[in-house]
Structure 1
Amino acid sequence: MAEFNGLGMGLGNLSRLSKAKTRSICAENFTGEKGKAGMAVDGTGSRFARDLGQGWKVSPSVSVKAKTTFTMADVVGPGAIQHIWLTCLPNVWRTLILRIYWDGEEQPSVEVPVGDFFCNGWCERSNVNSLPVAVNPAGGMNSYWEMPFRKAAKITMENIAEEDATLFYQIDYTLTDIPDDAAYFHAQWRRSNPVKYKDVHTIVDGICGRGHYVGTYLAWQSNHTGWWGEGELKFYLDGDGTFPTICSTGTEDYFGGAWNFEYPQGQYGSFSTAFLGLHQVIAPDGLYRSQQRFGMYRWHVMDPIRFEEDLRVIVQALGWRSGERYLPLQDDIASVAFWYQAEPHAVFPALMDKDGLEVI
């Protein structure tokens, strides 16, 4: 039997021994070096530990200064990121930008506002109880996406706001051999605000290479009365032209629901499961919160969408109008696409500026 390398153990392999080395990076050990955690003598907790000294939670967090980029991790491989935990205040969830770079590449493979990466794009906390992403009271954000790398992994957080932001974080990883067929994790954010009339929201486009699509998160604001999710999600892969290879039968169908997510009658039935959910429903308050807002995710963990050459993913925004006709909607839709692929990857479109990212 081949030696188990410690990558993606799972319950089925949990009892097996491995030569993989476990490491962890946080504000108490910026490098993840063995035997070097909890040694800080200065940090964001130093005044609280002034009677206790070194070893007593002196550096539990970092301050990411305004208009700067903080390097959360810079690891030499081979290995894999196995778990990311972090927390910060909701008001910075669209102004802190998470980026991940593999094997010394200059262009990021992950570029997403931190809230959206953890399925919280509206800067209002909503718990998520899924397999790869969990968000717990009162803002503990967890990612269990497996992220292998062969040479190096670099994780940064850019603060595009005019104010400093406090960030608590921990990155758990393993140093181990990586199989030849292990692909690299990618995630990309996009927004249509609003979707143009009779147009679609593009979740991702321009993916080139071999890989598999593993997840979708949508932060959807309805700018009309009535039902908003009649549109289809479409996956154009490997040279598809006018028509895609994969097409859903409706937005709520793709996210695992049915019949407008309406349960009980007259209200949305929110849910959060291992692979899919409508976990966030934000209702108008009759004053300043004038629009309905929704957060939903779909993880293709058990059913990855594989492509050999290229991939494009879109969603239609459709409601109803008179005479039992579809109404193309002009809603505010932000999305995150999650996928694995062999490197190199295509360069991402330029991320929107602060105003383009803002929840308004």
Structure 2
Amino acid sequence: MTSPLSDLYRLRTGIRTKRISSYNREGSNHDYVSVQAGETIDIAVIPGPGIIKHMWFTFNAEDPNFRRNAVLRMYWDGETHPSVEAPVGDFFGQGWAESYNFVSLPLAAAPAGGRGLNCYFPMPFGEGARITLENDSDKPIKAVYYYVDYEEHDSMPASAGRFHAWWNRELTESYPEEGETEWSIVSPQTNHPSTDHNYVIADLVGHGHFVGINYYVDSPGPMWYGEGDDMWLIDGEPWPGSMHGTGTEDFFNASWCPNELYAHPYFGYARIPQKLGFMGRTHCYRFFLEDPVHFSRSLHASIEHGHNNNLTLDLSTVAYWYQSEPHKRFPALPSREGRRNMPEIGMRDVHVWRHEYRKAMGGGRHIWGHEWRRT
């Protein structure tokens, strides 16, 4: 078994270490660049061949939602459509434009308070690389500090897949006739022998391997959100596919409806709700660094939003993979409004729910909340 230290002693030739950063070219301490509202800037333009080994960013922005409104894109080998397109926060492991610490092997959000954003995914290219940052906001990003650490190589082997990352987001619909009835609390649940209505993690064409996902779920109710199975259809195979899961927390290597912070290099829970049950925002992650999902022609990866897709959830993900080019063009990135968070459900909303429940139970003077069990 290898580790990052296994070949650290080995001397190599034909490689030159370089960095592109925001350092001040005149020698002052103003080591940053600014990005005006609506502006897109080049972070790095690198002639090939080479490999980006590490990226680091930190920001000072007026827009409190800049992590969702600033969009990171990467282009390899002169392509016109990006191989990486995602809001900055979501890409580095922070959902909902929030700032919090996040620990994993390939990605991290470091102190202070998760403001140091790091990526260690290697990103090879043969004929150049370009990284851009768009400020899709009505307020300026006053300061962007960054490093892009890379290697120049004499050549790049044909077997080097290109790094890809895609952000998706969906306000899911409750599809079954029985409605939102996880664990059959309201009524018996029906079966779901297909991928119909699943949330799509990735829909890929080409030859490559899938290496990770950041999964951000905002639940408007206290019910457990995680009875959804993950489903992987490789190279056009029919359902149930080569890989079929048993539940959302199982897919993220946890168990029994976890609601606690946990950080492993390959998987974990970086953010959990502090409300009623599972109401609110949960960030799960898993990186397939020891067990990538290989595909020769195509990959369709999806997950149910609750068993049989019975829950309304605000789901967003960033999928990470390597593949040969050309890749399937991404759907158009949702507008700024389309990336906006759903309103948080709070105490007043629950109070209104209880008021409606009291009326539904006849408006008695001692309505407690358990009466539905006897109906």
Normalising by structure 1, report the TM-score.
0.83
Query: Of 250, 258, 277, which residue of structure 2 is paired with 1:253?
Result: 250
Q: What is the Cα deviation at residue 291 of structure 1?
A: 4.3
Matched, 1:67 2:38: yes
Aligned residue pairs, count: 313
Is the strand fraction higher in 1 or 2? 1
Q: Which residue identity does 2:41 align to in structure 1? A: F
Q: Secondary structure at the match of 2:257?
A: helix
Matched, 1:181 2:140: no
Matched, 1:210 2:207: yes
Provide the identity percentage: 37
**In structure 2, what is the equivalent of residue 336 of structure 1?**
318
Q: What is the Cα deviation at residue 91 of structure 1?
A: 2.6
Mapping of residues 1-360 of structure 1, within 5 Å = 10-19=4-13, 20-28=15-23, 40-41=25-26, 55-58=27-30, 60-88=31-59, 89=61, 91-138=65-112, 139-165=115-141, 166-176=143-153, 177-198=155-176, 199-205=197-203, 207-261=204-258, 268-284=259-275, 291-318=279-306, 328-360=310-342
* Contact 2:173–2:309 (Cα < 8 Å) also in 1: no
* Contact 2:86–2:318 (Cα < 8 Å) also in 1: yes
Q: What is the Cα deviation at residue 223 of structure 1?
A: 2.1
Counterpart CA distance in 2 for 1:303 and 1:224 is 34
Instruction: Could you list the structure 1 runs, at least 4 aligned residues long, displaced by more than 3 angstroms after superposition.
Output: none
Is the helix fraction higher in 1 or 2? 2
- Show CA shifts across 1:5-41 (max 9, x none): xxx993111111122101011112xxxxxxxxx5x23
Q: Which residue identity does 2:79 align to in structure 1? A: E
Q: What is the Cα deviation at residue 241 of structure 1?
A: 2.3
Q: Which residue identity does 2:199 align to in structure 1? A: H
Q: Secondary structure at the match of 1:259?
A: coil
- Show CA shifts across 1:70-115 (max 9, x none): 1000000110000000012563000000000000000000000000
Q: Secondary structure at the match of 1:314?
A: strand
Higher mean Cα deviation, 237-246 or 150-159? 237-246
* Contact 2:210–2:288 (Cα < 8 Å) also in 1: yes
Q: Which residue identity does 2:152 align to in structure 1? A: L
Q: What is the Cα deviation at residue 126 of structure 1?
A: 2.3
Normalising by structure 2, report the TM-score.
0.80
Q: What is the Cα deviation at residue 179 of structure 1?
A: 2.4
Q: Which residue identity does 2:306 align to in structure 1? A: L
* Contact 2:218–2:280 (Cα < 8 Å) also in 1: yes
Q: Which residue identity does 1:343 align to in structure 2? A: E
| Greater C-alpha radius of gyration | 2
